[in-house]
């Protein structure tokens, strides 16, 4: 009588025979599919080849144009730094500190779930070198201990203040102050987003200038003096932006950066290179051309009356920092009012950068979505001579970088190798394009490091500059490609009408 072993041997035999049978037919099937695809491709190739050539030329042409724009920005930034060198603290800034013409200013700090950094940030603001200022922290309905941390750390008690409803915002639930800290004022309100929190701060502010500061940021002691000086020198100035630096890796004590150091993690290190490139090259160059379209929400100074005139910060956008600048440009151009905006490489604001791919991806997708929201909301300004260099150069660059750039860059990464594999592009041609893009990217990044060392010298050790140079090379292998994918996700979110802000987990500042 057959045993269990014989039964399983029979099953294995039947399985083997069935597999041989199926595999033989599968081989014939896939051979047939391959021949069919080849035949179809040979049939349609004459019709699509002109389109492929056109698409390839468009991708490569726009890539080269972007790199030429970056190169142009680098030389403009170098010229600006050579002409307008940062002021030394022992000269005009000290005179400004003691001057009667120094304008009082309100510091607006929107905070949502910032319990790990809020006390350090407020402490650093109270230590600023400035003769007359107030700090208004707006707790935007935080679900963590942000408000409780402030109440305890600064001995805050309920208070009241009358204020005009100049711009709209969600209801205010409570106001807090303390006799021990007369410059500090805390607002607790229903959650409405960053724009809504800033509008509440504008209504409660008492001074002609206000400064927006992120709750996870720390200003250098002389930052406010440097940012306000253009308003003192020229009454036509309506907005000034400062530099944002990565605080990851730095030592923080009593709300101040006591030791500047590079991040120890690779993602914040790559972001350090990005921020140097963005602030020391792009924004400095566009500021020189009078086409500055963004002042970072982490640190910007504005004339209060101008912002009230344009209706304050718009609701329903995640790009409030770029949108408010474009609104001001549009308002001033349409009313034919002379005005100026500036970006300054000094002053400096230190901020905590995302340390995980998930948090960083959300941030970059949100930035891309905000740029698209602003561009299409104010699309009539694009390439419109009525809006001068802002419409022609500023929006022209936004069209190239924010609107056309992400899809075409990803298409280039995907399609050019496919075209090469189909024999439509030569290997030499494809390799030359990627090599040119790589060399340009490294050159621009290293150029920003050169400007940093030439004029600002924030990183005192040669070892830091070597590490940043290596990071500028390494970011081209994976990191920049991931950024493009995150931007495409932001593109999709914009097209589908997504409105969520996303969540970023704060690790808190490193302390001595």
Least confident of 289-293, 298-302, 419-423: 419-423
Q: Contact 368/406 with Cβ under 8 angstroms?
A: yes
49 pLDDT tier (thresholds 50, 70, 90): low
Q: pLDDT, tens digit, for every residue of 347-359?
A: 899 998 999 999 9
pLDDT at 15: 52
pLDDT at 95: 64
More confident position, 276 or 85: 276
Q: Is the predicted pLDDT of residue 33 greater than 80, yes or no?
A: no
Quick one: average pLDDT of 135-150? 95
Q: pLDDT, tens digit, for every residue of 76-91?
A: 998 888 887 665 545 5
Q: Is the predicted pLDDT of residue 5 greater than 60, yes or no?
A: no
For β-strands 251-253 and 299-303, DSSP reports them as unpaired
pLDDT at 369: 95
Q: Is the predicted pLDDT of residue 111 greater than 80, yes or no?
A: yes
Q: How far apart are CA 188 and CA 174, in angstroms?
A: 5
pLDDT at 34: 47
Least confident of 40-49, 63-72, 342-351, 418-427: 40-49
Would the CA dihedral through 19, 25, 28, 34 be positive or negative? negative
More confident position, 335 or 252: 335
Q: Is the predicted pLDDT of residue 37 greater than 50, yes or no?
A: no
197 pLDDT tier (thresholds 50, 70, 90): very high
Q: How far apart are CA 66 and CA 408, in angstroms?
A: 11
> 412: how many CB neighbours lie within 10 A of its CB?
22
pLDDT at 313: 97
- Report residue 149: phi and psi, to 5°: -60, -45
Q: pLDDT, tens digit, for every residue of 365-414?
A: 999 999 999 999 999 999 999 999 999 999 999 999 999 989 988 888 88
137 pLDDT tier (thresholds 50, 70, 90): very high
Q: How far apart are CA 275 and CA 278, in angstroms?
A: 5
505 pLDDT tier (thresholds 50, 70, 90): low
What percentage of the chain reaches a pLDDT higher than 70? Answer: 84
Quick one: average pLDDT of 217-242? 92
Strand partners, 243: 348
Least confident of 27-31, 56-60, 184-188, 373-377: 27-31
Strand partners, 257: 252
Q: Which two tokens stand for residue 292?
A: 């500055």
Strand partners, 26: none
Q: pLDDT, tens digit, for every residue of 312-335?
A: 999 988 899 999 999 999 999 999
Would the CA dihedral through 180, 185, 189, 192 be positive or negative? negative
pLDDT at 435: 83
Quick one: average pLDDT of 21-41? 48
Q: How far apart are CA 130 and CA 163, in angstroms?
A: 24
Least confident of 31-40, 90-99, 197-206, 452-461: 31-40
Average pLDDT for the chain:
85
Query: Distance between terminal CA atoms of the chain?
Result: 82
pLDDT at 18: 47
Residues 6+ apart with CB under 8 A from 168: 199, 312, 315
503 pLDDT tier (thresholds 50, 70, 90): low
Q: Contact 177/150 with Cβ under 8 angstroms?
A: no
Q: How far apart are CA 263 and CA 269, in angstroms?
A: 5
pLDDT at 408: 86
Look at the block and give the residue holding tokens 């349409």. Answer: 334
Q: Is the predicted pLDDT of residue 424 greater than 80, yes or no?
A: no
pLDDT at 100: 64
Percent composition of the chain: helix, strand, coil (DSSP 3-state, to 5): 55, 15, 30
Quick one: average pLDDT of 188-200? 95
Q: Is the predicted pLDDT of residue 28 greater than 60, yes or no?
A: no
Domains of the chain: 70-396 (3.90.550.10)
44 pLDDT tier (thresholds 50, 70, 90): very low
pLDDT at 510: 55
46 pLDDT tier (thresholds 50, 70, 90): low
Q: Is the predicted pLDDT of residue 3 greater than 70, yes or no?
A: no
SS3 at position 436? helix
């Amino acid at each position: 009588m057959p045993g269990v072993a014989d039964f399983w041997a029979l099953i294995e035999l039947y399985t083997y025979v069935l597999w041989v049978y199926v595999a033989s037919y599968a081989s014939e099937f896939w051979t047939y599919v391959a021949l069919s695809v080849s035949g179809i491709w040979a049939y349609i190739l004459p019709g699509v080849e002109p389109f492929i050539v056109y698409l390839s030329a468009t991708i490569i042409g726009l890539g080269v144009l972007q790199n030429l724009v970056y190169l142009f920005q680098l030389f403009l930034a170098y010229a600006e730094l050579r002409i307008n060198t940062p002021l030394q603290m022992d000269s005009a800034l000290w005179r400004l500190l003691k001057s009667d013409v120094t304008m009082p200013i309100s510091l607006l700090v929107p905070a949502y779930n910032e319990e790990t950094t809020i006390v350090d940030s407020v402490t650093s603001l109270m230590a600023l070198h400035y003769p007359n200022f107030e700090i208004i922290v707006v707790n935007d309905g935080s679900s963590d201990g942000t408000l409780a941390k402030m109440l305890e750390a600064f001995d805050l008690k309920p208070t009241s203040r009358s204020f005009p409803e100049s711009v709209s915002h969600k209801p205010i639930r409570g106001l807090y102050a303390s006799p021990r800290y007369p410059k500090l004022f805390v607002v607790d309100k229903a959650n409405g987003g960053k724009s809504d929190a800033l509008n509440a701060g504008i209504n409660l502010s008492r001074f002609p200038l206000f400064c927006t500061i992120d709750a996870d940021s720390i200003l250098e002691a002389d930052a406010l003096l440097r940012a306000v000086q253009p308003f003192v020198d020229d009454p036509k100035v309506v907005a000034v932006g400062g530099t944002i630096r990565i605080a990851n890796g730095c030592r923080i004590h009593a709300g101040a950066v006591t030791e500047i150091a590079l991040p120890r993690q690779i993602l914040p290190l790559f972001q350090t290179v990005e921020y140097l490139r963005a602030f020391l090259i792009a924004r400095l160059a566009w500021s020189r051309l009078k086409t500055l379209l963004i002042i970072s929400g982490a640190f910007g100074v504005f004339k209060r009356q101008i912002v009230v005139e344009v209706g304050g910060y718009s609701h329903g956008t995640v790009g409030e920092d770029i949108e408010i600048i474009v609104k001001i440009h549009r308002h001033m151009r349409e009313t034919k009012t002379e005005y100026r905006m500036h970006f300054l490489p000094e002053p400096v604001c230190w901020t905590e950068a995302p340390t995980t791919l998930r948090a960083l991806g959300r941030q970059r997708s949100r930035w891309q979505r905000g740029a698209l929201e602003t561009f299409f909301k104010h699309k009539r300004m694009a390439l419109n001579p009525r809006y001068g260099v802002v419409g022609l150069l500023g929006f022209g660059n936004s069209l190239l970088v924010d609107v056309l750039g992400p899809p075409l860059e990803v298409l280039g990464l995907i399609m050019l190798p496919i075209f090469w594999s189909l024999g439509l592009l030569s290997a030499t041609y494809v390799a030359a394009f990627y090599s040119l893009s790589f060399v340009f990217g490294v050159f621009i990044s290293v150029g920003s490091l050169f400007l940093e060392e030439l004029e600002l010298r924030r990183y005192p050790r040669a070892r830091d500059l070597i590490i940043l140079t290596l990071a500028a090379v390494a970011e081209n292998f994976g990191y920049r490609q991931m950024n493009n994918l995150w931007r495409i996700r932001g593109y999709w979110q914009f097209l589908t009408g997504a409105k969520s802000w996303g969540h970023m987990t704060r690790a808190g500042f490193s302390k001595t």
